Structure formats: C-alpha cells, structure tokens
Homo-oligomer: A and B are copies of this chain.
Amino acid sequence: MEIITSTKNQWVKTVKTLYKRKGRKESGCFILEGWHLLEEALKAGAKIEQIFVLESQQERLQEVEGIPVYCVTESVLKAMSSAEKPQGVLAIAKQWEYPELTLEGAWVFLDRVQDPGNVGTIIRTADAAGYQGVILGEGCADLYNDKVLRSMQGSQYHIPVYEKSLTEIIPQFKAQGGKVYGTKLDKNAQDYREVHPQGDYAILMGNEGKGVAKELLDQTNQNVFIPMRGQAESLNVAIATAILLFAWQ
C-alpha cells in the first residue's frame, strides 16, 4: 500500500480543493471525514473514490474492496483535514444522485438558510418526521459542506435534497395542487396550531436573520407564525422548523 508522507503530495492539494464549493462542483466529489461518516456512507452504498487512513488505524477499515486506500502520516492527515482533531480517516466520495424531482407529499423549502449546522439539522429532522424531501433554495449552505454533512447524520441517504430556485419551484408546486406555508415573525400571520395541512404541502423557512424573502412570502398560500410566551425575540430556524414538522406531521 502506498504511504503518503509529504504534505506537498498531490492528494493533499486535491483534498483541499474539495473544501470549497467551486472545487466540489467541478469534480462532483466531496470529503467525508471521520469513521462515523465514512462507515455510514459505505453502509448506504455511496461511491467512495479514495480513502486516506493513519497506519495505526488501518485495521479498522472494512469492506473497502476495490477502493484505493492510502496510508498517511499524522502530519499529512492534519494537512488534509478541516477538523481541529483529525479522526484518523478521510475519504473522497462521489456526490450522490437522487431520482428526478417529483413534487408530491410533504416538503421543506429553505430560503437562504446559511448556517451549515442549521441546514444539516433541518434535513435530519425532516427525515425523522417522515417528510418527502428538502429543497435548498439559492443562498443556502452547500449540501456537501463538512458541517452540513456532520449535522445530517446520514439523513441524505434516506430522503432526497435538491438545490433549486424557489421562485421556480413554488409556482410549479402550487400549479400541481400543492400548498405552500410560509413562516413569518408576524402576529398577523396565522397561529401554526390552527393550521392543519392536508395533501401535498411545503413548509417554507427562511434566513437566520432576515426570515423568508418578501417576494416568496407573497407567493405562498398562507403564512404562519409560532406564538412565543416568553421574552425571546425569535427561535433558531432549525428549532422552528422542527416544531412545525412534528406538529403537522
């Protein structure tokens, strides 16, 4: 097995390009870091292109027949890693492919949700609540961002996630009979507990600071809010999404 000992090795450079959205788009690949994410990906049948592992942890690698494995030194792994404490293994994986989008069932639409932890947590929650899938509108954190991957906890293998323009998707969904519920920090919006969506519908959640864009809220069937009894000014967007998903499930 090849051993990489120099941080100037070409693989170190290749891995680094994949921490950027541009590098991921161009190659169609992304980085999986740590044993948990790698094992989950292997279990789900994801296409792994290369694995880089510390020699001391090599024995933990199982069922990787046909995948090129490189041993790396600690300094090389550190150079490759985005984590403060690299976990011993890192892999280059092919971006997964979902079946063509069919807008049926219950969906989550995200408008410019920027924090990767929020995007990943929302996908995990949508999976747990049994929703059909998630659409990331323009300006959302990238699905293959390492923090999104960590927060999703593998839910990307259970439900599909598409990157689409919401200005196109919303009218399309409505034309097919779906209802879109926007969320708005506004007491004139409808209390979410009084709304009981039936059939195909989507919950539209917005940016952490700015909420859903006005031009999207104008297109919805109804806008709802979550009444707050306490003094907090707002809820975290992943929290607000979870409350709606489980209440409307």
- Are B236 and A130 in contact, CB atoms less than 8 angstroms apart? no
Count contacts on A: residues with CB < 8 A to the other chain.
33
- Checking B129, B130, B154, B231 against A158 with a beta-carbon cut-off of 8 angstroms, the contacting residue is B231
- Checking B117, B127, B228, B242 against A128 with a beta-carbon cut-off of 8 angstroms, the contacting residue is B228
Q: For residue A96, which residues in chain B have a CB less than 8 angstroms away from its CB?
A: none
Q: Give Cα A247–Cα B129 distance, bound, in whole angstroms.
A: 15
Task: Say how far A194's CB is from chain B's closest CB, in angstroms.
Answer: 14
- Are A229 and B125 in contact, CB atoms less than 8 angstroms apart? no
Q: For residue A129, which residues in chain B have a CB less than 8 angstroms away from its CB?
A: 228-230
Determine whether A226 belongs to the interface, using a CB cutoff of 8 Å to chain B: yes
Q: Give Cα A233–Cα B233 distance, bound, in whole angstroms.
A: 32
Task: Say how far A193's CB is from chain B's closest CB, in angstroms.
Answer: 9
Q: Give Cα A234–Cα B159 distance, bound, in whole angstroms.
A: 15
Task: Say how far A136's CB is from chain B's closest CB, in angstroms.
Answer: 18
- Are B242 and A130 in contact, CB atoms less than 8 angstroms apart? no
Q: For residue A131, which residues in chain B have a CB less than 8 angstroms away from its CB?
A: 230
Determine whether A58 belongs to the interface, using a CB cutoff of 8 Å to chain B: no
Segment 213-249 of A: residues with Cβ below 8 Å from B? 226, 228-236, 238-239, 242-243, 246-247, 249
21 residue pairs A–B, Cβ–Cβ below 8 Å = A117-B117, A121-B236, A121-B239, A124-B232, A125-B236, A126-B230, A127-B230, A127-B231, A128-B228, A128-B235, A130-B229, A153-B233, A153-B234, A155-B232, A158-B232, A229-B249, A235-B242, A238-B239, A242-B242, A246-B247, A247-B247
Taking A128-B235, A155-B232 as known contacts, 18 extra A-B pairs with beta carbons closer than 8 A to each other, sorted by chain A number, are: A121-B239, A124-B235, A125-B232, A125-B235, A125-B239, A128-B230, A130-B229, A131-B230, A153-B232, A158-B230, A158-B231, A238-B238, A238-B239, A239-B239, A242-B242, A243-B243, A243-B246, A247-B247
